[in-house]
Amino acid sequence: MHPMSVAIHATALTATAVTPRQVAANGPIRVAVIGATGYVGGELVRWLAGHPAVVIVGLVGRDRDEEPIGRSRPHLARIDLRVDAALPETDAVFVALPHGQAAALVPDLAAAGRAVIDLGADFRLHDPADYPRWYHFVHPAPELLARSIYGLPELHRAQLAAAGDHVGPIVAAPGCYATAAILALAPLARAGLLGDVVVDGKSGVSGAGREPRPDLTFGEVNENVTAYALGGHRHTAEMEQELAVVSRLGGHGAPEPITFVPHLVPMTRGILATCHVRPGRPVEQAELDELYRAAYADEPFVSVVDEPPATKHVLASNEARVYVKWQPRSGRIVVLAALDNLAKGAASQAVQAFNVLYGLDERTGLAALPVAP
């Protein structure tokens, strides 16, 4: 993977004292996407193109020179936008780059007063020591980690809203597996019910990105299911970090370490997380039903369902569906969460966080229903 090289116009680095809420009040909000030609970048363009409060002023891609977006992302050909190597002046920047690349760009963007929504991992973890451990690089701007906001609105809506009154906020959009597992387990963490936890995650191949790899060719993936990252998947760090926060807010100690095993399945997009939890005390189904009902009753994009959800139920939407079941014979709680890894697990969730940051209705631009079949 070659490092992303982005030329930033001098005007884009002119300091400004305008906050996101002030920008939104005068609208429209000028946005740019760095990494626009990847799977997540293309999804960002798709969602932002239909956002009524937004105008896309720039798309940035490696080694691009005024290239129509339809050349690299044919499904977006109807959108009259071009991909360049330079970033124009803008109010907000969505960064969709592999881990380790955004960390070099974001400090200058934030210092210039731009709101940054990073869809990579570079600002998700608050402890700088976690980056060498999980991502094998030393973070170049550790001082920014403490003020970056983990952009899961269901947990951090208040922090996102408060950041809208500050210049140059940094929002770290969650990872796809982490989103599914955290939404599945947060009600249990809040109630102090997380004992031993095993998360079995299954994802479509788009989660691996668009770069060609021999193990992702049709002949390797078709009619095949494989487990990977058994030594420790990087999203485990997010799961443990965020569930510890929820647990402490509920008056409980940090949960036990999570065992997370991801699997690649022969489909394009979607995640199903099956979480097996041995609680620290006996529970009943009625208690679990009430915990999850209370947690998500007012959430616009999370539904607690009565039957196990499937990835097709949420395809191409910002929806997540959660199902919880007590198994008295084994003494375990089983929680399922289904979402689209490119949407609620990435691009549309980033737009949801952006909406909260700018003081917009959280559902703005995200009303699309799931696609079937």
Distance CA 357, CA 102 (A): 20
Are β-strands 271-278 and 332-339 bridged in parallel, bridged antiparallel, or unpaired?
A: antiparallel
Short-list 165, 150, 158, 305, CA closest to 235: 150
The predicted pLDDT at position 16 comes to: 58
The predicted pLDDT at position 8 comes to: 54
Q: Kindly state the tokens that stand for 187.
A: 């009600």
Indicate if the pLDDT at residue 97 is higher than 70. yes
Distance CA 48, CA 351 (A): 8
Q: Kindly state the tokens that stand for 28.
A: 């429209």
What is the share, in percent, of the chain residues with pLDDT greater than 90?
A: 90
Q: Kindly state the tokens that stand for 193.
A: 């019910």
Q: Average pLDDT, stretch 350-357? A: 98
Residues catalogued as catalytic = 176
Q: How confident is the model at residue 11 (pLDDT cuts 50, 70, 90)?
A: very low
Indicate if the pLDDT at residue 14 is higher than 60. no
The predicted pLDDT at position 41 comes to: 96
Q: How confident is the model at residue 146 (pLDDT cuts 50, 70, 90)?
A: very high
What backbone torsions phi and psi does residue 346 show, to the nearest 5 degrees?
Answer: -160, -90
Average pLDDT, the chain: 94
Please check whether residue 239 is in contact with residue 301, taking contact to mean a CB–CB distance below 8 angstroms. no
Q: Average pLDDT, stretch 333-358? A: 98
Please check whether residue 75 is in contact with residue 54, taking contact to mean a CB–CB distance below 8 angstroms. no
Indicate if the pLDDT at residue 3 is higher than 90. no
Indicate if the pLDDT at residue 230 is higher than 70. yes
Q: Average pLDDT, stretch 244-256? A: 95
pLDDT in tens, 22-46: 999 998 999 999 999 999 999 999 9
What is the share, in percent, of the chain residues with pLDDT greater than 70?
A: 96
Distance CA 44, CA 87 (A): 16
Q: How confident is the model at residue 2 (pLDDT cuts 50, 70, 90)?
A: very low
Calculate the CA 229 to chain-centre distance. 19
DSSP letter, residue 241: H
Question: Is residue 262 reached through a cis peptide bond, with omega within 30 degrees of 0 on the bond before it?
Answer: no
The per-type count for the chain, helices as H runs and strands as E runs, is: 11, 17
Burial of 42 from C-beta contacts in 10 A (0-12 / 13-18 / 19+): buried
Strand boundaries in the chain, DSSP class E: 7-8, 29-34, 54-60, 67-68, 82-84, 86-87, 92-95, 115-118, 149-150, 170-172, 196-203, 226-227, 258-264, 271-278, 302-304, 320-327, 332-339
Burial of 368 from C-beta contacts in 10 A (0-12 / 13-18 / 19+): middle
Structural element, H or E, at residue 129: none
The predicted pLDDT at position 6 comes to: 61
pLDDT in tens, 172-212: 999 999 999 999 999 999 999 999 999 999 999 998 888 88
Short-list 71, 61, 130, 64, CA closest to 95: 61
The predicted pLDDT at position 133 comes to: 96
Short-list 141, 147, 95, CA closest to 118: 95
DSSP character string of 38-73: SHHHHHHHHHHHT-TTEEEEEEE-TT-SSEEHHHHS
For domain 177-339, give the fold: Dihydrodipicolinate Reductase; domain 2 (3.30.360)
Q: Average pLDDT, stretch 361-365? A: 98
* Domain boundaries of the chain, sorted by first residue: 7-174+346-357, 177-339
The predicted pLDDT at position 1 comes to: 36
- Cβ neighbours, 10 Å, residue 39: 23
The predicted pLDDT at position 10 comes to: 38
Distance CA 42, CA 32 (A): 12
- Cβ neighbours, 10 Å, residue 186: 27
Calculate the CA 332 to chain-centre distance. 28
Give the list of residues 6+ apart from residue 172 with CB closer than 8 angstroms, or none. 118, 121, 122, 123, 124, 148, 149, 150, 151
Distance CA 16, CA 22 (A): 12
Q: Average pLDDT, stretch 219-234? A: 94
Give the list of residues 6+ apart from residue 367 with CB closer than 8 angstroms, or none. none
CATH code for residues 7-174+346-357 = 3.40.50.720
**What are the CA-CA distances from residue 190 to residues 246, 249, 252, 273, 330 (Å)?**
5, 7, 8, 19, 23
Indicate if the pLDDT at residue 101 is higher than 50. yes
Distance CA 168, CA 153 (A): 19
Q: Average pLDDT, stretch 82-91? A: 94
Residue with tokens 């999203």: 235
